[in-house]
Structures are given as structure tokens and as C-alpha cells.
């Protein structure tokens, strides 16, 4: 199983939006096999944007754990964005557990066990708190952690200040994703100590559609934002382990050994390094437009009837 976590250090650069885009464009994705997990302690973004129930997700899973005698599964606790993208949502101010909490057992269950459809998990960690909180356990469980940030000097200074902590929390499996104009990859590495993994263009209209706002789907389907998300998802999927052996599940001994042996991409931080911005991607590559249809979260937009609730979102579920 593959697990990718996303977080930010400062501001709101679009972590939740990018998480849904990556999950929706994950290579060879089959509906139901890639899940977005909202592990942001503040919670509530997905429910608010897509009209999901605040009672289905972490809260209902916790209730199920208390009542169950024979174990529990994710069935009944996932909600679906239009088009079939499953999400484990957190209510506003939800008590999101640590990744090692027994409540998360169904997430790490292997195919053939409690819930046999999960192949990839994209975790939305939201903004990193000063102490790190329970986010650190989610990073340790993930194959790769992406720090989403704007390219301004002030934003990158905050990233640099947390770089050592991030490297330690992830075992070196951390990288930067910039939004909008940002310095070159070499300058970012020299200044922050973290490797650049991807660049997202600053496209407010496309991002708004992806975040559940009204609008025509073609604003996103033909955008550089979607093309960049596809490329990033493909690059991440390519570097992920493809073993199916149970010993390679997240958190297992061989998984920990594999990640501990991963080279740590870091440099000695240069406080006096000067940054020079480069432009963000402006146009998708010609072959990107035809690779995939509209991402699942936009399936209902084209008909002009975006669904705020799906049949699986039962208000007032336990």
C-alpha cells in the first residue's frame, strides 16, 4: 500500500485541494482504491466544501470501534465525492487520532483483510502546528511527505526553520511542492534544505472548481493545474514501492527498513542564501490534456448540477 501525506507550514497554499487532485489523478486509479484521509486536526474542510455529513468519518468510526467486538472496517464511514472518490472526513474540530492509534487499523489493513479495496492513501494533514502534535505519526507512516508552500521568502523561511524537524519526522522522505512563482530547485534546496518535488501553478479559477465551488469543468480539465497534478502523481507513483508482500505494509519492519535506508536529501542550511524566483508552469504539455477525462470530483459539474450530498452520505449516521 502507498501512503502520501501533505501538509503546510504557513498560510493556506491549497493542501486539501492538492490532496484531492493527487488522489483523483493517481496513475491506474480504480474507483474506490485511492482514499483521501482528512487528518487535519482543525478538520471540516471536505465536509464544508462538498456538503458531506459531519457525522460520518472519524466520529462514526470511533463510535463503531466502541461498539464492535469483532473488529471494524471502513465500510459505512467513507463518503464519496461526485465521481466516486472516497474520503474519510473529519468534522470541524474533530479529534483526529494518531496514525498508530488502534482506530486507524482499518487504514493499514492489507488487501484481503478488513477492507480489500485500498491501494493508495493520500493524507491531508493541514497546517503543521508549532509542536507538530500527532501529525508526526502520520508522517512516519507515509512513504512520502509533501510540504506545500508558496514561493515567497517569508514562506520559505518558515519552511527552513522546520526543515530539520521534518527530516527527522519522516526519515528523510520529505519534499517541497511550491505553489506559484518560486526559486529554482537548486536555490530551494540550498535555502531550505529540502528537495523540490513539484511545482503547482497559481490558478485560482481552476483551484476553486477543484475545491467544490461552482463553475465549468473545463476551467480545470484543460488547466495547467490539473496537468501539473497529473505529472506529480505519476512521479510519486513511480518512486513508490510496488511490493505486495504483507511485510511491506506501512509501518512494518521491512517498510521501516526501506525508508530508513532512503538517502536523506538535505543540505547545510545557508541563512544568507539569496532567492531568485522562476515562473510557475503556465501551459500543460500537449499530451497531458488527453491523458484522462475530468477528475472524479468534477463529474457532476459538466451537467451543471453539482451534488452536495451523495446517496452514501447518511445524515446522522452513528
* Residue with cell string 493527487: 22
pTM of the predicted structure, to 2 decimals = 0.77
Kindly indicate the confidence band of residue 193, based on its pLDDT and cuts at 50, 70 and 90.
very high
Rounded Cα gap, residues 214 and 205, in angstroms: 10
Average pLDDT, the chain: 77
Q: For residue 18, what is its C-alpha cell? A: 492538492
Tell whether 14 is covered by a domain.
yes
Domain containing residue 35: CATH number? 3.40.50.300
Mean pLDDT, to the nearest integer, of 92-106? 80
Cell of 228: 501539473
Asked if residues 150 and 168 have their Cβ atoms less than 8 Å apart, the reply is: no
Q: Which domain holds residue 285?
A: 2-247+264-298
| pLDDT over 90 (residue 236) | yes
182 or 265, higher pLDDT:
182
Question: CA-CA distance, 56 to 68, in Å (whole number)?
Answer: 17
Nearest to 222 by CA among 262, 182, 282: 282
Q: What is the mean pLDDT of residues 58-81?
A: 77
Please count the structural domains in the chain: 1
Q: Provide the 10 A C-beta neighbour count for residue 269.
A: 15
> Looking at the domain assignment, is residue 62 inside a domain?
yes
Would residue 46 count as lying in a domain? Answer: yes
Amino acid at each position: 500500500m502507498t501512503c502520501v501525506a501533505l501538509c503546510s507550514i504557513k498560510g493556506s497554499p491549497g493542501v486539501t485541494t492538492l490532496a484531492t487532485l493527487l488522489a483523483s489523478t493517481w496513475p491506474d486509479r480504480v474507483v474506490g482504491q485511492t482514499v483521501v484521509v482528512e487528518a487535519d486536526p482543525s478538520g471540516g474542510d471536505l465536509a464544508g466544501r462538498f456538503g458531506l455529513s459531519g457525522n460520518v468519518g472519524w466520529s462514526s468510526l470511533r463510535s463503531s470501534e466502541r461498539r464492535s467486538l469483532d473488529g471494524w472496517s471502513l465500510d459505512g464511514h467513507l463518503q464519496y465525492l461526485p465521481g466516486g472518490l472516497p474520503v474519510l472526513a473529519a468534522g470541524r474540530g474533530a479529534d483526529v487520532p494518531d496514525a498508530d492509534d488502534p482506530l486507524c487499523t482499518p487504514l493499514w489493513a492489507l488487501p484481503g483483510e478488513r477492507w480489500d479495496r485500498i491501494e493508495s492513501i493520500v493524507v491531508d494533514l493541514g497546517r503543521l502546528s508549532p509542536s507538530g502534535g500527532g501529525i508526526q505519526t502520520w508522517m512516519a507512516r507515509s512513504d512520502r511527505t509533501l510540504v506545500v508552500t508558496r514561493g515567497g521568502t517569508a514562506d520559505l523561511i518558515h519552511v527552513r526553520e522546520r526543515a530539520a524537524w521534518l527530516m527527522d519526522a519522516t526519515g528523510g522522505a520529505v519534499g517541497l511542492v511550491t505553489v506559484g512563482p518560486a526559486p529554482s530547485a537548486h536555490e530551494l534546496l540550498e535555502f531550505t534544505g529540502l528537495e523540490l518535488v513539484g511545482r503547482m501553478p497559481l490558478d485560482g479559477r481552476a483551484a476553486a472548481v477543484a475545491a467544490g465551488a461552482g463553475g465549468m469543468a473545463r476551467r480545470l480539465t484543460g488547466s495547467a493545474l490539473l496537468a501539473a497534478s497529473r505529472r506529480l502523481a505519476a512521479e510519486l507513483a513511480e518512486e513508490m514501492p510496488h511490493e505486495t508482500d504483507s511485510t511491506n505494509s506501512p509501518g512494518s519492519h521491512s517498510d521501516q527498513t526501506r525508508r530508513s535506508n532512503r538517502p536523506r536529501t538535505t543540505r547545510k542550511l545557508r541563512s544568507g542564501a539569496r532567492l531568485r524566483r522562476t515562473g510557475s508552469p503556465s501551459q500543460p504539455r500537449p499530451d497531458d490534456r488527453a491523458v484522462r477525462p475530468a477528475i472524479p470530483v468534477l463529474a457532476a459539474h459538466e451537467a451543471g448540477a453539482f451534488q452536495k450530498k451523495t446517496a452514501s452520505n447518511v445524515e446522522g449516521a452513528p
